Structure 1
Amino acid sequence: MNARKLISMVALLGLSFSIMAASVPEEKIATLRLAPLNVEPTPPAMQQVINSDVKQVRNYPMQPPIIPHKIDGYQIDLKVNKCMQCHARNSTGHSQAPMVSVTHYMDRDNNFLAELSPRRYFCTQCHAPQLDAKILVENDFVDIDHLLKSAASAKQ
């Protein structure tokens, strides 16, 4: 009885695998890679960082400013913050870079510190350089100034 059960289980298992293999034609298999697994696809071209050093307009209140220059190779770790060579309070005179906001020198209780606050030390947590890349997803974002103008003109 046990041998019969084992043989029928193996036969049933083999039959189920053959049905699964037959039900999915190979040419219909799609992957997120958009290429067969045995082919290495050509990677997309890397986009260029906008390196204009021109201050960009913010799109909404409290938006962190974007970084208008390349930061490739900038060291930002526990020992060194390369950004502060230009953006620290005592460096802006010779670098002509905008000073880090005073909020970056405040602790969580709004007390001012002599040094940069540890919670604001890693600049790229909030600030990012922009790429000169094509738009991948349509965007219907409307900035706050446009909304305020529309509301004001609707009242008149």
Structure 2
Amino acid sequence: MTVVAGLLVFASTAAIGQMIQQNVPQLEGPAQSMATGEAKPLPKWVTDDQRRMRAYPDQPPIIPHSIEGYELSVNANRCLSCHKREFTQDSGAPMISVTHYMTRDGQMLADVSPRRYFCTACHVPQADTRNLVVNQFKDMSELGFKPAGSE
């Protein structure tokens, strides 16, 4: 009797599963074509050495120059040859933020923190392309707010 009841439950569960499976739409959509098409040309990088306004608060600054051929590995970081604290006076490059010399716990280090060593994890070159979406960001100064003490 127990075996018959078990078989009945199994059969009804399988039948319900098949009905549900037929009513659920495919999540991955139609099969994609495997044909190869012509690739779009790569966009040109903005390399005018002009600092850009940030698009949102706390945005990492973009890289306004070419970094093609820069070595960025465990053994070398070409970015630091200009942007490290001790080299900025000769290079004229902006110094990396003091936060790059801190540990996660806020302790200051004598050298760049290992977690901030790979610059391109946050900082990227700017490509000369159209926006994918309309940017409606307005800076506080555009909204009528003035810096404290300016009145």
Same fold (TM over 0.5): yes
Partner of 1:79: 75
Give the alignment of 1:10-49 within 5 angstroms.
31=32, 36-38=33-35, 40-49=36-45
Between the aligned residues of both structures, percent identity stands at 47
Letter paired with 1:108: R
Partner of 2:135: 139
Which residue, out of 75, 85, 89, partners 1:89?
85
8 Å contact from structure 1 (residues 51, 68) kept in 2: yes
TM-score, normalising length: structure 1: 0.67
Give 1:51 deviation, angstroms: 0.2
Give 1:53 deviation, angstroms: 0.7
Partner of 1:68: 64
- Give the aligned CA root-mean-square deviation in angstroms: 2.1
Partner of 2:5: none
8 Å contact from structure 1 (residues 75, 82) kept in 2: yes
With over 3 angstroms needed to count, the CA separation of the structure-2 counterparts of 1:60 and 1:145, relative to structure 1, is farther
8 Å contact from structure 1 (residues 59, 144) kept in 2: no
Gaps of 5+ in 1: 1-28, 151-156
Which residue, out of 111, 114, 118, partners 2:114?
118
Give 1:59 deviation, angstroms: 2.8
Distance in 1 (CA, whole Å) between partners of 2:92 and 2:65 is 14
Aligned length: 117
Distance in 1 (CA, whole Å) between partners of 2:102 and 2:34 is 51
Gaps of 5+ in 2: 1-29, 146-151
Which of the two has greater helix per residue?
1
Distance in 2 (CA, whole Å) between partners of 1:68 and 1:95 is 15
Partner of 2:96: 100
Deviations along 1:7-60, one digit per CA (max 9) or x if unpaired, are: xxxxxxxxxxxxxxxxxxxxxx774xxxx534x311101100000111111233
Letter paired with 1:55: R
8 Å contact from structure 1 (residues 104, 117) kept in 2: yes
Distance in 2 (CA, whole Å) between partners of 1:138 and 1:61 is 18
TM-score, normalising length: structure 2: 0.69
3-state DSSP class of the match of 1:91? Answer: helix
